[in-house]
Chains A and B, each alone.
Chain A
Amino acid sequence: MTVIGERIPRSDGQSKVSGEAIYGVDYAEPGMIWGALLRSPVSSGRITRLDTTAAMAMPGVHAVLTAADAPDAYAGWVLRDQRLFAVDRVHFEGQPIAAVAADTLAQARAAAAAIDLEIEPLPAVVDLDHALSPDAPLVHPDWESFVPTAGPDFPRGGNLAAESISDPPGVDEAFARAHRVISDEFVAQRQYQAYIEPKSAVGIFRDGRYTIHTAHQFPYNVRDRVSQFLNVRPSAVRVVGHTIGGGFGAKLDASLEPYAALLSRAVRGLAVKLVNTRTEDLITCPSREGAITRLRSAVDAEGNIIARELEVIADNGAYSGEMPWLASIALHCARGVYRAGPTRVVARLVYTNTTPTGAFRGVNGTYLYHAVERHMDHIAAELGVDRLEYRLRHLFTDGEELLNGQVLDDAGILRQGFEAIEAAAPWAELQAEKRPYRGIGIGAAWWLTNPSAGTAVVKMHEDGTVAVVTAATDNGSGAVSMGVTQVVAERLGIPPADVHIALPDTDVAGFDGGSQGSRTTRIVGKASQIAADEVVEKLKNVAAGLLEAAAEDLEVAEGTVRVKGVPGKSMTLAEVAVTAMNTVGPIQGTGSFVTPFPDFNPGCATGLMLPSFPTPTYHVHLAEVEVDPVTGNVRVLRYLVAQEVGRVISPDGTYGQVMGAVTQGIGYALHESLRIGEDGRYRERTLESYRLPLAGDVPRVEFFPLEHPDPDGPFGAKGVGEGPVLLPAAVIANAVSDAIGKPFNQIPITPEEVLAAIQS
């Protein structure tokens, strides 16, 4: 009897459906007061007046803080380029300038609004190409003084926040002898994660330490960022996690937490809570970055791609956050999953006077795969070749060596993905059944499972149940509430309901790399499995004496320790656990895990901060769309996903990740415009104009899991959650281009563009 691959109810399900679960915005402390931030109304300017006198005199106000009240410290995930409050200059709309604590939220907001602020506007750097031109103003004239958070400095300078360049030999020669050269330019807007729970934080300064309550994907990162901003050692900060109302990457770095902490200190330890309004949340969120991607491919007379160039310029916003780490992802995606000869890759991340960008599920990959897959359609069309056949002809196979020297032993899985899609939606039939204003798009991708470290303690209670202590968070995916729970239950032969996993607390649980990059089921599942195995060994040792059998003849199964093959010779786990109290002491096990980076060639590129993609997974998507010729609206009629998952641990969790990610991808492709005006401010500022897909906007995804268990993963698991967001923009753009017969090379595709194309 196994629980791996079985449908189990998520452990936090009942509390969520009944309203009992306490999310970050629900959390309250005794005597708690409220905070609010004064944020910059402009994207670039000089603060000429900042007077808090009037605000301080407002009813209920306890404290008003500005840069003058904060440590003179710089913070940042990768580069320490950011201060807690704006000092003299503001660099993006929404940047905090002051913080207020007051008895009520309304009082705090009123006082923040009453702060006397004058800003002399300065020119804003907004356009990505222009940001790198010599005449562009510098977003940070003092960029040279910024220090990397860890390790050596990386290629950067002026408005160039990071750069990764790979220039292998043979590219120019191949272009010189090419039969033809095919070029494209792609433009992608930003995308707001738009979790339904706005960000919040409660800070408490007590006993000389800061405790922060927050609903966060990565509590240890909050600890580090708060310690940097407040200039204290990391252990002076304790972060306690609460149920998260969605994150999708936007809750990986600190946001309101350091302000809550500093305000609490200013009011002598009263708990202070901050919560974003939806508009504050939207305009300050580290959204998926906008980017311009330029692709050129050299093609020989037989139609083979003999060389390629990819240039991507991505929008860092005003501060770096996690972004410099991710610049080298362009190298891993430049060819998609198709052979394309030597490839020059130039990835540049640029500072602009806009809200800092950050991680959103499928970081960088969404627009890179969009570019590569649109470009593949373009090449096939130029050659007059069927675009599916063209893809299959150049598809990666087992043993493929990548641009960074990494070898994909199992890339042949991609062909199985195409076959799974073909079986459900035969390409020839789709072509034969084509009607006006209908189109088909297909594409494929590979992706990593984030390797960051994690740890877990599994402790056996005297009643035979276990607790798992970990700083891993369940952002809603079910990775903890189902995945890790199932792994531990399976290992100990107990029902999943007997596995209790507490919310994270950095004072209690060891480091965890956060709910990002599809890592939790694999990394924390593996750490928990190791911990559970230690528990199993200890249980057997204690039981061996009682059962008068050698430990190696025992097994832990069905809630018992029993002698293999001898029915009736067994003890319950509770009996063993109680006995242990008098013999060896309480039973618990610990486990830690991290995936090493696969071998790569360090000399292949500069700025190679994410050098290779561990634990690869493979993805093939197909979309069928219909265009409304009256309005230009696009409707996705059918959507198919074939995806390598290692092994399905939880079928509901796996499908939920695929369906949810595809829906976010459909929004990215079609609905979710997030435009930046020439003034550097967002144009879409509420959930009315920032349009999230509704139940009526998405089809039911047809999903075909491919299972090739990973020997290093818990029960073979690989990452699941991120990959399915990589391709919807690509295959939908291909489908719309197919339907209209004209290229759509922007994300999102708007009805305005579609109708203009139809009518032109």
Chain B
Amino acid sequence: MEMTFTVNGTQAKVEIDPAETLLGVLRERLRLTGTKEGCNEGECGACTVLVDGLPVDSCIYSAAATGGRRVETVEGLTLDELGRDLQAAFVAAGGVQCGFCTPGFIATLVSVLRENEAPSEDDLRTALAGNICRCTGYSQILDAVAATVSRRNGR
């Protein structure tokens, strides 16, 4: 079946299988490999993208359900001011080690910070429950968010 959606601001029309996931469309059909597959069961959050602004695990999100919707991946968030601020802060704060989880973290955090300009660390630890990082222990990721928040609120 055919499915049309907006990805990173551009209309895309793809042929999909009815049971296909959004992750499959992004990685295999559109070669947007910035979004990662870690578990394929909605446990790790490496595949997080924004659908109509909401963070979803694209590995368990129906491609068909994406029709007519607006998807933002890490590649697109690189062009978003908040996304770019977060990315820079991740690098500056040591929030990236292997980096495989990072695109998913960026996606979740863009959504969180769009909704709440200054979340507390506890809020963030809760909001990030669906994003697993095996390398950092999260502290420097939280530092990166704090730096982003203070930078954005300071200007």
Query: What is the minimal beta-carbon distance from A97 to any residue of chain B, in angstroms?
Result: 23
How would residues 113 to 155 of chain B score, 1 for a CB under 8 Å from any chain A CB and 0 otherwise? 0000000000011101101111111111110000000000000
Structural contact, B44 and A687, CB atoms closer than 8 A:
yes
Which residues of B are found within 8 Å of A19, using beta-carbon distances?
Answer: 32-35, 73-75, 78, 103
Structural contact, B38 and A659, CB atoms closer than 8 A:
no
Q: Which of A9-17, A120-128, A220-228, A445-453 contacts B (4 or more CB under 8 A)?
A: A9-17
Query: What is the minimal beta-carbon distance from B115 to any residue of chain A, in angstroms?
Result: 18
* Cα(A15)–Cα(B5), bound, Å: 26
Which residues of B are found within 8 Å of A701, using beta-carbon distances?
Answer: 137, 139
| Residue from the list A9, A197, A653, A659 in contact with B98, Cβ < 8 A | A197
Q: Which of B1-49 contact A (CB under 8 A)?
A: 32-41, 43-44, 46
Structural contact, B91 and A246, CB atoms closer than 8 A:
no
A660 on interface, CB distance cutoff 8 Å:
yes
B64 on interface, CB distance cutoff 8 Å:
no
Q: How large is the interface on B (under 10, 10 to 19, 20 to 34, 35 or more residues)?
A: 35 or more
Q: Which of B58-110 contact A (CB under 8 A)?
A: 73-75, 78, 86-88, 90-94, 96-103, 106
Contacts A25-B37, A246-B135, A476-B135 given; does A196 touch B101 at CB 8 Å: yes
Query: What is the minimal beta-carbon distance from A32 to any residue of chain B, in angstroms?
Result: 12
| Interface class of chain A by DSSP | loop
Most buried by B among A22, A659, A661: A659
Structural contact, A696 and B94, CB atoms closer than 8 A:
no
Structural contact, B136 and A660, CB atoms closer than 8 A:
yes
Query: What is the minimal beta-carbon distance from B50 to any residue of chain A, in angstroms?
Result: 13
Which residues of A are found within 8 Å of B102, using beta-carbon distances?
Answer: 16-17
Structural contact, B140 and A656, CB atoms closer than 8 A:
yes
The chain A residue with its CB closest to the CB of B42 is A688
Most buried by A among B86, B90, B91: B91
How would residues 641 to 671 of chain A score, 1 for a CB under 8 Å from any chain B CB and 0 otherwise? 0000000000011011001111110000000
The chain B residue with its CB closest to the CB of A245 is B100
Structural contact, A656 and B136, CB atoms closer than 8 A:
yes
| Residue from the list B33, B90, B101, B129 in contact with A22, Cβ < 8 A | B33
Which residues of A are found within 8 Å of B36, using beta-carbon distances?
Answer: 23, 25, 196-197, 245
Q: How large is the interface on A (under 10, 10 to 19, 20 to 34, 35 or more residues)?
A: 35 or more
Structural contact, B94 and A656, CB atoms closer than 8 A:
yes
* Cα(A475)–Cα(B154), bound, Å: 35
* Cα(A14)–Cα(B136), bound, Å: 17
* Cα(A196)–Cα(B100), bound, Å: 7
| Residue from the list B46, B86, B94, B100 in contact with A653, Cβ < 8 A | B94
Which residues of B are found within 8 Å of A7, using beta-carbon distances?
Answer: 92, 94
Query: What is the minimal beta-carbon distance from B136 to any residue of chain A, in angstroms?
Result: 5
Question: How many inter-chain contacts with C-beta < 8 Å in the A-B complex?
Answer: 167
Which residues of B are found within 8 Å of A696, using beta-carbon distances?
Answer: 125-126, 129
Structural contact, B137 and A14, CB atoms closer than 8 A:
no
Most buried by B among A9, A17, A23, A692: A17
Which residues of B are found within 8 Å of A9, using beta-carbon distances?
Answer: 91-92
* Cα(A7)–Cα(B89), bound, Å: 13
Which residues of A are found within 8 Å of B94, using beta-carbon distances?
Answer: 7, 10, 478, 652-653, 655-656
Which residues of A are found within 8 Å of B140, using beta-carbon distances?
Answer: 652, 655-656, 659
A601 on interface, CB distance cutoff 8 Å:
no
Which residues of B are found within 8 Å of A695, using beta-carbon distances?
Answer: 124-126, 128-129, 131, 133, 138, 141-142
Contacts A663-B138, A695-B125 given; does A21 touch B99 at CB 8 Å: yes
The chain B residue with its CB closest to the CB of A650 is B94
Structural contact, A656 and B97, CB atoms closer than 8 A:
yes
Which residues of A are found within 8 Å of B137, using beta-carbon distances?
Answer: 656, 659-664, 693, 698, 701
Contacts A13-B91, A17-B87, A19-B73 given; does A694 touch B97 at CB 8 Å: no
Q: Which of A227-251 contact B (CB under 8 A)?
A: 243-248
Structural contact, B134 and A278, CB atoms closer than 8 A:
no
Query: What is the minimal beta-carbon distance from B35 to any residue of chain A, in angstroms?
Result: 7
Contacts A16-B99, A476-B97 given; does A196 touch B134 at CB 8 Å: yes
A20 on interface, CB distance cutoff 8 Å:
yes
Structural contact, B129 and A243, CB atoms closer than 8 A:
no
Which residues of B are found within 8 Å of A18, using beta-carbon distances?
Answer: 34, 74-75, 78, 87
The chain A residue with its CB closest to the CB of B100 is A245
Which residues of B are found within 8 Å of A26, using beta-carbon distances?
Answer: 33
Query: What is the minimal beta-carbon distance from B140 to any residue of chain A, in angstroms?
Result: 6
A198 on interface, CB distance cutoff 8 Å:
yes
The chain B residue with its CB closest to the CB of A694 is B129
The chain A residue with its CB closest to the CB of B144 is A17
A686 on interface, CB distance cutoff 8 Å:
yes
* Cα(A19)–Cα(B128), bound, Å: 19
Q: Which of A243-265 contact B (CB under 8 A)?
A: 243-248
A434 on interface, CB distance cutoff 8 Å:
no
* Cα(A664)–Cα(B136), bound, Å: 9
Most buried by A among B41, B43, B93, B100: B100
* Cα(A25)–Cα(B101), bound, Å: 13
Structural contact, A660 and B97, CB atoms closer than 8 A:
yes
Query: What is the minimal beta-carbon distance from B128 to any residue of chain A, in angstroms?
Result: 4
A277 on interface, CB distance cutoff 8 Å:
yes
Which residues of A are found within 8 Å of B126, using beta-carbon distances?
Answer: 695-696
A477 on interface, CB distance cutoff 8 Å:
yes
Q: Which residues of A contact B (CB under 8 A)?
A: 7, 9-10, 12-14, 16-23, 25-26, 193-198, 243-248, 277-278, 475-478, 652-653, 655-656, 659-664, 686-688, 692-696, 698, 700-701
Q: List 14 A-B contacts (CB under 8 A).
A: A16-B98, A19-B35, A19-B75, A19-B103, A25-B37, A197-B38, A656-B135, A660-B135, A664-B134, A687-B39, A687-B132, A695-B124, A696-B129, A700-B142
Given A17-B74, A245-B36, 4 other A-B contacts at CB below 8 A?
A: A195-B98, A246-B134, A695-B129, A701-B139
Per CB-CB distance, the 4 closest pairs between chain A and chain B, nearest first, are A19-B34, A16-B99, A476-B98, A245-B100
